[in-house]
Amino acid sequence: MIVTLEGTTTSAIQRRLIEIREEGGVLALGRVLTLIIHTHLGEEEDAIQAANEASREHPMRVLVVSRSIDEVAAAEAPSLDAEIRVGGDAGASEVVLLRCFGAVGEHLIGVVQGLLLPDAPVVCWWPHRMPEHPASAQLGALAQRRITDASRQEDPRSVIRALAEGYEPGDTDLAWTRVTNWRAQLAAVLDQPPYEPVLHARVTGALRSPSVHLMAAWLRLRLGVDVDVSSRADGPLGSSGLSSVTLTRASGDATLTRIRPSTGLLQIPGQPDHEVALSHRQLRDQLAEELRRLDPDEMYHQVLEAIRISGTAGTSVPAPEGGSR
C-alpha cells in the first residue's frame, strides 16, 4: 500500500502512520532500527529496493530523505511531500519517502526527528552523493552508524583519503564491505600449510576502485609487508574492482583470482588449483552486512589510519614495523 501526502508536515505524516497501523494492523513494534537514506530526487528507488530486501533480515523503519541539488533547491518554493509505503511495497519494513523542496532541505533534522523510532538505533546511508565529513552532516549527527560509498563518487581515491582524515567511530563504507569475501578467503589460505610468513604481496584490479586500495592497505597492515598495486581492466572484476591478490612466500606464490563474477580460482604451490566462492554480492547484501553490526568497525578504522599515515591510497609504501597477520 502507498499513501501519498502533498504539502504536508512531519506531524501529519506521523499521525497517518498511526492511522495505518490501527486500520491495517501494521505494527512498528518489531522494528529494530531506523535507517535514514539521504539521496536526491530521482535517485531513490534503487536504494529503497535494497533497503526493502535487507529489511527481511533487519526489520526497520526506512526514512528516505530526497532533495534537489543545491542550485535547483534555491529556486524552489519550500514544500514537503511524502509517500508512506507499507505491506508488499515495503518488504518487512515501513518506508517513508520525504521529498524536500526549497528551504525545507536545509533543515533535515527537523524533517526526520519526529519520525525516528523511539529507543532504537539510527543508521544513515548515503547511496550516491555523500558529505565530506559524514559524522558532521545533519543526518549523520543523529546516527550511530554512517554508511557511505566511495566508489560512486567522482574521485573515489580522494574520497577514501578524506574519510581517513575525518574518521569518526561508526563510519563505514561499502567499498570496504565489498572485500569481505576476499579477506575471508585469504585468511583461510594462511591458516593452511605451509605455515610460512608472507614476504610480499600484490593486489591487481581497477585502480579507480577504492576497494583495491583498501585491500592493499589491509594486507600491508596485517602482514607487515610491502604491497604492490597494479592495474588490470580486463576480466570479470566484479563490484569490488579486484582482479587478483598474490601472496609471496618462500614456497612460492599463493594467488586468488576472480575468474567469474561469483567464482575465484585459488592457486597454492604443491596443491591442485581449485575454485572457491567469491560472490559478486548485490547492493542489498552489502547493506544487510553493514546493518548486522552497529558498533564501530575497528578494523576499518585501522585500515583508514594506515592510509592516512602513509598519505596514499594507491601506491606501495614501506610496510610498518611489527606487522602481524
Tell me the pLDDT tens digit for each residue of 202-240: 999 999 999 999 999 999 999 999 999 999 766 667 788
pLDDT for residue 321: 43
Mean pLDDT of 247-265: 95
Give the mean pLDDT of the chain. 89
On the 0-12 / 13-18 / 19+ scale of CB atoms within 10 A, 234 is exposed
Cell of 232: 588490470
Mention every residue, 6+ apart, whose C-beta is less than 8 A from residue 42: none
Report the candidate in 297, 293, 303 with the shortest Cα–Cα distance to residue 323: 303
323 has pLDDT over 50 = no
46 pLDDT above the threshold of 50: yes
Q: Containing domain of residue 201, as a range?
A: 180-277
Q: Using DSSP bridges, classify how beta strands 242-249 and 252-260 pair: parallel, antiparallel or unpaired.
A: antiparallel
Number of domains observed in the structure of the chain = 2
Long-range contacts of 187-193 (CB under 8 A, 24+ apart): 189/247, 189/254, 189/256, 189/266, 189/268, 190/247, 190/325, 192/268
Same domain, 121 and 12: yes
Is 100 in the same domain as 50? yes
Percentage of the chain exceeding pLDDT 70: 89
Residues 19 and 62 in one domain: yes
CB neighbourhood size of 152 (10 A)? 16
State the distance between the two ends of the chain, measured CA to CA, in whole angstroms. 51
pTM here? 0.90
Cα separation, 243 vs 234, in Å, equals 8
Domain-embedded: residue 118: yes
Tell which of 234, 258, 277 closes a domain: 277
Q: Name 242's bridge partners.
A: 205
For 226-251, give the DSSP string. -EEEEE--SS---TT-EEEEEEEETT
Query: Helix, strand, coil: what percent of the chain each, to 5?
Result: 35, 25, 40
The answer to the question of residue 156 being in a domain is no
Query: Does residue 104 have a pLDDT over 80?
Result: yes
80 HSE (CA, 13 A, CB side): 20
Is the model more confident about 312 or about 307? 307
- What's the rounded mean pLDDT across residues 74-97? 84
- Verify that 74 and 185 share a domain, yes or no: no
Per-residue confidence band for 269, with pLDDT thresholds at 50, 70 and 90: very high
DSSP 153: S
Same domain, 110 and 228: no
Q: What is the pLDDT of residue 322?
A: 40
Q: Would residue 242 count as lying in a domain?
A: yes
**Whether residue 199 sits in one domain with residue 137:** no
219 within domain boundaries: yes
Residue 40 lies in a domain: yes
Query: Is residue 227 located within the same domain as residue 267?
Result: yes
Look up residue 58 and give its three cell numbers.
Answer: 533487519
pLDDT of the residue at 315: 43
270 vs 31, residue with greater confidence: 270
Is residue 291 domain-resident? no
pLDDT-based confidence at residue 1 (cuts at 50, 70, 90): confident
18 and 97 co-located in one domain:
yes
Q: Is residue 282 part of a domain?
A: no
pLDDT in tens, 119-146: 999 999 999 999 999 999 999 999 999 9
Strands 2-5 and 79-85: antiparallel
pLDDT at 28: 46
Query: Domain for residue 80, yes or no?
Result: yes
